Structure 1
C-alpha cells in the first residue's frame, strides 16, 4: 500500500537542470569576482594608507627626537642614535652601528643649513637619517628601520590572510547567491511544465466532447429537422463549454502556488454519482460495468467541486482502462472522514513500484492473464495533488479478490466541528468550516 500526502518536490528535466546549474555557476563566479575585486581594492587602499601613516609617523618621531636633543646625546629614544657635530668636536649615542651615521649629510647641512631626510643601507640594515642645524651645532638622528619593516611585513601578511579568507568567503557566498538567484527561475520552469502537462491531459476529454457535440449539432442543422435534438445538442455544448472553462480555471488555480481557491460544501456521494454516470457510456464501450455502492446518507466535505470531480474522474478512468469486467465505486463516511474507494478487477499492483505510484508518467507491472501492465501516466499524479490540496490522502492497495483499489480520504465536514486533516503530515492544520 502507498499513500500520497502533501505536494511532491517539483522536478525538472535533465536539460533544464543542467541549464540552471550552469546559470548558478556563472552567477556564482561573477559574484565571486566582483567581491574579490572589491576585497582587493580595499586591501590595497588599507595597505597604502597604513604605510603612508607609518612613514609619516616614523619621520615625525625622528625629527622630534633630533629637535629635542640637548647637549647629552645619550638620551635618545629606542632604536634611535644621535650624532652631534659642533665647534668642540663630534660625539654620538653609545652603540651607534658602525657606518650608520652619514658624514656627507652632516657636511651638507653644515654648509647649506637645510635639513634633509633620507634612507641608507649599511651592512644589509636599513636606516632612516634626519639631519638639521641647531645654532652652530649640526645634529643627526639615525633610526633603525628593521623593527619598522618587521611590523610592515606582519601587517602585509595579516592583510593577505584576511584578503584570502575574504576571497574564499566571496566564492562561497557567490555560489550560494547564484543558487538562490536561479531558484525562482527553477520554480517558474517547473510550474510552466506542470501546467502544460496538466492542461494537455485534463483538457483532452472536454475538447473531444466539445468537438463531438459541435459535429452532432452541425449534422442536425444541416438536415434541417429534429429541432428538439438540435436544441439538446446545443444545451450539451454550452454545458460542456462551461465544464471546460471550469477545468481551465481550476488548472490555473493549481498552477499558482499563492492562490487559494474558494471552497464550498458538497456531497461526495452526489459528486461520485455524477462521475459514474458520465463514465458509464465509455466503460460500456470497453465491456466494463461500473457500479456505485454505499448508503444514501450525504457525505459532506468542503472543497472545489471542479477539482474533486477531476480527481474522481481520473481514478475512475484509470480503473476502467485496466478492469476486466467490473469497477466498483464506494462512498462512505466515518465520524471524521469521508472516503471514496474505486476498485477494479484488472491487473494487480506491484508492491516494489508502489512508492512511485503517484509520480508523473510512472508505471507498474501487473499480473493479468494477457500480460497487461498498469500505466498511470499523469492522471494519478494530478489526483494526488488535488487530494493534498484538500488536506486528504490517497492510497493504492490491492482490491479484494484481485485487481487494484484507490482510496481517497478527506476530512468530513460537520457543522460546528473543525475538520481534521486525514494526512498526519499535513502542515496546514485543521480546516475551519
Structure 2
C-alpha cells in the first residue's frame, strides 16, 4: 500500500488490478483459442492430405499385397478371388466398397471404426482388378493428441502468466491514479471540514437573528436566510458524497414538484431584480427515486441558467407519467448557439457571448448532467420554435424500487 492511500482505496486498487489481470487472461484465452483452432485445423488438413496421398500411391504403385508401406494393408480382387495382405486387422476391410467398385468402377473412400482402432480405405479399379488400400489412423490420432496436449499446457501457462502480468502492470498503472484520487478526496474532505465551521457559525447567527426578528417586519427574510444556511450545509454534504465514488448514494422517494417549487421560490428575488417573470405551471406530485439535495442543485442550476439568458420570462413545468417525470425550463432568451449544442453539457463549454451576444455555459449544465446521470435520467436541450431555449430533464419514477 502506497503512502497516502487508505485501506479501502488499497482494496479498491487490488480489485481493479485483479480485474485488469482477468481481462488480460480473457484476451489471451480468446487469442490462444483462435490460434489453437487454426493450428488444429491446419494439422488435420495436413494429415488428411498425407493420408490421401499415401493411399493413392499405394493403390497405384503397389502390385503385391505383401509389399505396401508400413501402416498400410492391401487387398486385391482378381476374377472373383480376393487376396488380402498379411496382418490386416479384423473388420478393417470394406468388402462392400470392393463389390461396389467392381460393379461400377468408381473410386471410393470410407472410414471404418472397429473396437481396436480406426482405418481409412481407398478402393479403386486398376485394369481388370479392384484394389483396396487400408490405412491405420492411430498414428495420426496419437500425433493429434500430442499436439492438443502441448497446446493445452502452453495455453494454460500463457493464461497464468498473462493474468499475473495483467495484475502487475494494472497495479503499477493504477497506483499513480489512486494516489491522485486519494489526494483529491483528501482535499475535498479538508475543504468540506473547513467550510463546515463558518457554515455552522453562519447558521447559529442566523438562528439568533431569527429569534430577535420574530416580531419584526424582517421575520420572513430572516426565516429564508435560516433556510438558505441549512440548504448550504446540505449541499456541502451532497458534494462530499458525490466526490467519493466508493460511497453508495442514498435514494429516497422525492417529490420533484415540491423540489421545483422550493427552488423557484428561492430564485424569485433574483428574477425580480432582473425583471424576469418566473411562471411555474401547476403540477401534480411527481415522486422520483433520488437525493433531494442533489435534485435541488440540478433544478437550481437549470433556473440559474435560464435567468442569465432570459429577456422577460422563464416558464417551468413538471410532467409526471407512469415511468418518468419530465421537468422543462423554457426561457425567451436568444436561444442556443448550434455550434456549441453538441458540447452543451460538457464542463467548461461556453459560447462566445462577448462576440455573438449568445448564451454562455460553464459548469452549471455539466453538473446538471452528472446529477441526472447519477439518478438514471437524461437531460437535453433545444431551441424553441418561437425563440429561446428549452432544457428538459427526465428522471425515472423508480416505482419498481418501492
Residues 299 and 351 (structure 1 numbering): CA distance in 2 closer, same or farther, change over 3 Å?
Answer: same
Is the 1:299–1:333 Cα contact (8 Å) retained in structure 2? yes
Task: Please list, as runs of the form range in 1=range in 2, the aligned pairs for 1:133-152 lying within 5 A after superposition.
Answer: none
- Cα drift, residue 394 of structure 1: 0.7
Give the aligned partner of residue 336 of structure 2. Answer: 349
- Cα drift, residue 212 of structure 1: 12
1:376 aligned residue (346, 352, 361): 361
Verify: 1:263 aligned to 2:251, yes or no.
Answer: yes
Verify: 1:305 aligned to 2:275, yes or no.
Answer: no
Residues 389 and 192 (structure 1 numbering): CA distance in 2 closer, same or farther, change over 3 Å?
Answer: farther
- Relative contact order (alpha carbons < 8 A, sep ≥ 6): 1 or 2 greater? 1
- CA–CA distance in structure 2, aligned partners of residues 380 and 328 of structure 1: 18
Residues 173 and 390 (structure 1 numbering): CA distance in 2 closer, same or farther, change over 3 Å?
Answer: closer
Is the 2:207–2:226 Cα contact (8 Å) retained in structure 1? no
CA deviation digits over 1:294-345, x for unaligned, max 9?
x542211111111100100011001001111111111002331100011111
- CA–CA distance in structure 2, aligned partners of residues 219 and 243 of structure 1: 16
Task: Please list, as runs of the form range in 1=range in 2, the aligned pairs for 1:356-395 lying within 5 A after superposition.
Answer: 356-365=343-352, 371-395=356-380
Give the aligned partner of residue 408 of structure 1. Answer: 393
Is the 1:213–1:233 Cα contact (8 Å) retained in structure 2? no
1:335 aligned residue (297, 322, 335): 322
SS at match of 1:408: strand
1:319 aligned residue (306, 323, 327): 306
CA radius of gyration, larger in: 1
SS at match of 1:261: coil
1:251 aligned residue (239, 245, 252): 239
- CA–CA distance in structure 1, aligned partners of residues 229 and 361 of structure 2: 27
SS at match of 1:269: helix
Residues 219 and 334 (structure 1 numbering): CA distance in 2 closer, same or farther, change over 3 Å?
Answer: closer
- CA–CA distance in structure 2, aligned partners of residues 275 and 233 of structure 1: 16
Verify: 1:179 aligned to 2:173, yes or no.
Answer: yes
Residues 192 and 392 (structure 1 numbering): CA distance in 2 closer, same or farther, change over 3 Å?
Answer: farther
Gaps of 5+ in 1: 1-168, 419-431
Q: What is the number of equivalent residue pairs in this alignment?
A: 237
- CA–CA distance in structure 2, aligned partners of residues 248 and 254 of structure 1: 10
Verify: 1:240 aligned to 2:225, yes or no.
Answer: no
- CA–CA distance in structure 2, aligned partners of residues 359 and 191 of structure 1: 22
Give the aligned partner of residue 159 of structure 1. Answer: none
Give the aligned partner of residue 382 of structure 2. Answer: 397
- CA–CA distance in structure 1, aligned partners of residues 179 and 173 of structure 2: 10
Task: Please list, as runs of the form range in 1=range in 2, the aligned pairs for 1:4-19 lying within 5 A after superposition.
Answer: none
Residues 250 and 351 (structure 1 numbering): CA distance in 2 closer, same or farther, change over 3 Å?
Answer: same
Gaps of 5+ in 2: 1-161
Residues 275 and 176 (structure 1 numbering): CA distance in 2 closer, same or farther, change over 3 Å?
Answer: closer
- Cα drift, residue 175 of structure 1: 7.2
- CA–CA distance in structure 1, aligned partners of residues 239 and 387 of structure 2: 34
TM-score (normalizing by structure 1): 0.47
Give the aligned partner of residue 147 of structure 1. Answer: none
